[in-house]
Structure 1
C-alpha cells in the first residue's frame, strides 16, 4: 500500500493562515469593498480548479469587479502583486543578524493535525508514504520538517509539478518512492481538486488501484449542515470515504478501503 498526503487542511489547519491571507488579499485589491467568507471560499474551491490560493485570490477579485460591470481586460491586477501581498501576510519576513530570514506571518500559528508518531506507525506497518501538495516547497518543508519533525520526507510541492487536479505530481511522487506498480495508491486530501486528481490518475493508469480519501478541514467541522454538505461534495468528487482527521486512516482501515 502507498499513501500520499495533501498538506493544507490535512496535515495543518490553514483556516487562520492561507485562507485568512486569501481573504486579506481580496479585501486589499478590492479597496476594502469585498472580503470573501469561509463559505464563499469553499464554494470557489468546490469548482475544482482553484487549488492555488494566489489564483483563487485573483479570481475572487476579478469576479467582484465584473459584478460591478467591469471587464477583466480593464482591471489592472498583476499576478505578481497578488502573490507578493499574499506572501507578506501568510509568510511574512524578518531579517536576522546572520542575514537569514525568519518567517513571522500567519504560517507560524498553524495548528498541526497530525503527529510524527502517526507516520512512524505507517512505516512500521510497511506502508509507503509521502506528500503531494500545492503549497510552496518552503512552506511545505517548514511544516513537515521544522514543525512536525519528519526527517526529509518525500515531497512533491508547487515548484515540482503542475497544480492539482493534474496528477503529474502524484506520478512523480510514486516514481520517487520506487515501489512496485501493483501497490494500490491512496491519496488523502480535503478539497474537490484533491479528489479530481485521483479521478484523473485513474483515467491515465486504469490498471492501478487508486483510492481517494477525503478529510474534513477543521473549519467545516461544526456538526451541522455545512459539515454534511462538505462530506457530500467530497464524495461526489470521488472520495470513497471521508474522515474527520487524517490519523483515522490507520493501516487497518487502509486494508478495507
Structure 2
C-alpha cells in the first residue's frame, strides 16, 4: 500500500536544528582573531556578509578567506600569506569541539536546540519522510542528532559524504536514501522540501531544480536566531533568502508542519 506522503523533507542542521551563533560562528571568529594576531575579530554581521556570497558554507574555508581578506586590506597580497590549513582546522576544532576527544567540551556542548523530537514525530505520523543534509562534519551532526535529540541513525548526508553546497549532490543523496528506506511505499517523484538558513542552502535547491526539472523542489528559508534580535535585520535577511530561491521564510523550523507543507505544495 502506498503511503499518504505528500513530500520528502530534508533539513539543514546549523541555524535550523541548532543555534550555532555562539559555537561554530564563535569558533570562526576565534580563528580569524588568532591568525590576525588579535587585530581583527569578525562580527556576526561580517560573517553574514561572507555567507551571503553563497560560497563559504564550510566554516574552515570561511575562516581562511576572512584571514586572507584582512591581510589584503592591510596591503599584503594573499599570495604572501602563509596559512597551514590543517593547523587552522585543528585550532578551529579545539574551540568548537574542545580539548577532550572523547567527551567534547567545546562550544558544541552549549548549542541551544531549535526543534524538539516530537516535531519530527509529528511529521512521521503524517507519513512524511525526513532526513538531513548538512555541511557540518559527520561527528558534529551526529552529536546533535543522536546525542542531543536522541534520534536513532537518521538519514544524514554530512560534509564528508558530498561536495559542499550549493552543489546539490548531497541533497540528491539524502533523498535517495529516504526513498530507499521507505521503499515502494512512496509515490515516485514526490516533491522535495529543503529547509535551510543560508544563501547557499537556497542556491542548492535552485540547482537541484535545474538538474531535475521534472520534480518539484521547494526551498524553505529559516531565520537563524542571531538575525532575529532586530526586526529590520530579520526582514532584510528574509528578503535575501527569498531573492535567491526561498519560497517562504520561517522564524522557526517547527512552523513547517504537515499542514503547512500541504499548503506550500
The bucket for the TM-score relative to the shorter chain is over 0.9
Give structure 1 stretches of 5+ with no counterpart: 96-100
Extract structure 1 runs of 4+ deviating beyond 6 A: none
User: Matches of 1:240 and 1:89 in 2, distance apart?
Assistant: 36
Residue equivalent to 1:130? 131
User: Matches of 1:8 and 1:135 in 2, distance apart?
Assistant: 8
Matched, 1:84 2:90: yes
- 1:201-233 per-residue CA deviation (whole Å, 9 max, x = no partner) reads 000000000000000000000242111110111
User: Matches of 2:237 and 2:188 in 1, distance apart?
Assistant: 32
Residue equivalent to 2:70? 64
Instruction: Give runs of aligned pairs for residues 141-220 of structure 1, distance below 5 A.
Output: 141-178=142-179, 179-220=186-227
User: Matches of 1:193 and 1:74 in 2, distance apart?
Assistant: 29
User: Matches of 1:12 and 1:164 in 2, distance apart?
Assistant: 19
Residue equivalent to 2:22? 16
User: Matches of 1:60 and 1:68 in 2, distance apart?
Assistant: 13
TM-score where L is the length of structure 1: 0.96
**Partner SS state of residue 14, structure 1:** coil
Q: Is the 8 A contact 1:181 1:208 kept in 2?
A: no
**Partner SS state of residue 14, structure 2:** coil
User: Matches of 1:112 and 1:158 in 2, distance apart?
Assistant: 20
Residue equivalent to 1:42? 48
TM-score where L is the length of structure 2: 0.94
Between 44-53 and 67-76, report the one with greater CA deviation: 67-76
**Partner SS state of residue 59, structure 1:** helix
- 1:88-110 per-residue CA deviation (whole Å, 9 max, x = no partner) reads 00001326xxxxx1101000000
Matched, 1:231 2:231: no
**Partner SS state of residue 212, structure 1:** strand
Residue equivalent to 2:183? none
**Partner SS state of residue 65, structure 2:** helix
Count matched residues: 252
User: Matches of 1:63 and 1:225 in 2, distance apart?
Assistant: 28
Q: Is the 8 A contact 1:144 1:150 kept in 2?
A: yes
User: Matches of 1:215 and 1:92 in 2, distance apart?
Assistant: 28
Following TM superposition, by how much is the alpha carbon of 1:180 offset from its aligned partner in structure 2, in angstroms?
4.3
User: Matches of 2:188 and 2:195 in 1, distance apart?
Assistant: 19
